[in-house]
Chain A
Amino acid sequence: MADINPESAVQSSSTERRTSWGRILVWVGLFTLLGLVAISLVRGQQGPVAIGKTAPGFTLTTFDGETITLSGLKGKVVVVNFWASWCKPCEQEAADLEAAWRYYQPRGDVAFIGIAWTDTEPASKAYMAKFDITYPNGPDLGTRISQVYRTTGVPETYIIDREGVLSYKKFSPFLSLAEIKAAIDPLLGQ
């Protein structure tokens, strides 16, 4: 048998060490990548915000330049409506929402907020003029608000109680003013 060369033995052991480090790095990289994919999949699978949970906070700059924060409306019942000018079902409920706003406005303890989702400003303003909408409305800049509420489309309406807890949600248009009142009135008695 050939004699073992000590130099080559040292060399081969250092090569093995390098190989094992390489393997560790590859595995770590692979698991990191899988972890990131898993996190994004879990996030993607999450449904809309659940009733009974604290409603996610947001800041909205309205088309008039006013800044509204959800936390600033604590103590009031807040109706948050996501809509878009190109959304036909949104048109179905637009007049009823405005009527409801005018009905509750004198009380001062109900706030209505309209959030225009993936809409262009001229089209949004034309829509608001068409339905004579007077409650605060603004664009969902960067779709940040719809993302925290994990909306699935428009129209969607979320009603938040005086404590900031999500109490009601609707993923289709309201069919009448009575239906909107039926969703808000129980929260005013609290």
Chain B
Amino acid sequence: MHTEKLARIKPLLWSLVWLGIILFVFFFMVSNVLAQEPTPVGPVQNTGITDDQVNAIAKQMFCPVCENIPLDVCPTQACEQWRELIREKLAAGWGEKQIKNYFVDQYGERVLGAPPAQGINWLVYIVPPIAILAGLFILYKALRLWKPTAIEKAIESLQAGPINEAVADAGNQAARSIDPEVDEYVRRLEEELRKRE
């Protein structure tokens, strides 16, 4: 009964697994394709700092005014000022870390593209991998459950109609190879089925 049910829903479950894999691959590819292009490389400014150098830092930050738009592609005046500030700091010889720390001091941690791994922020780094691992574990368990065991195959063969000795032998052998106790169980089952016939 249980096996029949499984056999019926098995194609559906496999479809779901494949759908999941396809969606995962699709979103992974699309996210790369849709990644916004940074502001084009312009001429070297008076400071001698190129737009590329500015954008390398700016793309790791977000201005609180324009939600979800990285600083390197944000077209607002506020973001333009921030990029100019990065350029000035770079020209003054500041390093990337120093500049990011300055922005955090001035505008808060939310300007960073990735929250610093401290305090409750750790959850952001820990929860997704744990959730993925848990999901994989559940998937593995489910796949194991869907795969009929040698015993189930043997029982199915026995229930299918007139006893086919070859199939029964195969079932017995498979069962014996797994567990001697199961062997005893299969023997009794066969006996019961023979009696019924």
Contacts and interface: CB of A to CB of B under 8 A. Distances in A.
B123 A118 contact: no
Q: How large is the interface on B (under 10, 10 to 19, 20 to 34, 35 or more residues)?
A: 20 to 34
Given A36-B120, A120-B82, A86 B77 contact: yes
B135 interface: no
B78 A139 contact: no
Interface residues of A, number: 17
A139 B85 CA distance: 15
Contacts of B181: 2
B118 interface: no
B106 A84 contact: no
A33 B78 contact: no
B105 A85 contact: no
A86 B120 CA distance: 33
A1 to B, nearest CB: 10
A84 B107 CA distance: 13
Interface in B65-80: 65, 76-78
A84 B82 CA distance: 13
Interface stretch (A64-72, A141-149, A181-189): A141-149
A91 interface: no
A144 B82 contact: no
Contacts of A86: 65, 76-78, 81
A118 B127 contact: no
Nearest to B84: A120
A105 B82 CA distance: 34
A50 interface: no
A143 B108 contact: yes
Contacts of B120: 36
Contacts of A143: 64, 107-108, 110
A119 interface: yes
A186 B153 CA distance: 88
Contact of A2 (B78, B104, B108, B184): B184
Contact of A118 (B65, B84, B104, B184): B65
Contacts of A141: 105-106
Interface string B133-152: 00000000000000000000
Contacts of A84: 65, 78
B158 interface: no
A142 B107 contact: yes
B154 interface: no
Interface of A: 2, 33, 36, 84-86, 118-120, 122-123, 139, 141-144, 147
Given A119-B78, A123-B81, A143-B108, 12 more contacts: A2-B181, A33-B123, A33-B127, A36-B120, A84-B78, A86-B76, A118-B63, A118-B78, A120-B81, A120-B85, A122-B85, A142-B106
11 contacts: A2-B181, A2-B184, A36-B123, A86-B76, A119-B81, A120-B82, A141-B105, A142-B104, A142-B106, A143-B107, A147-B108
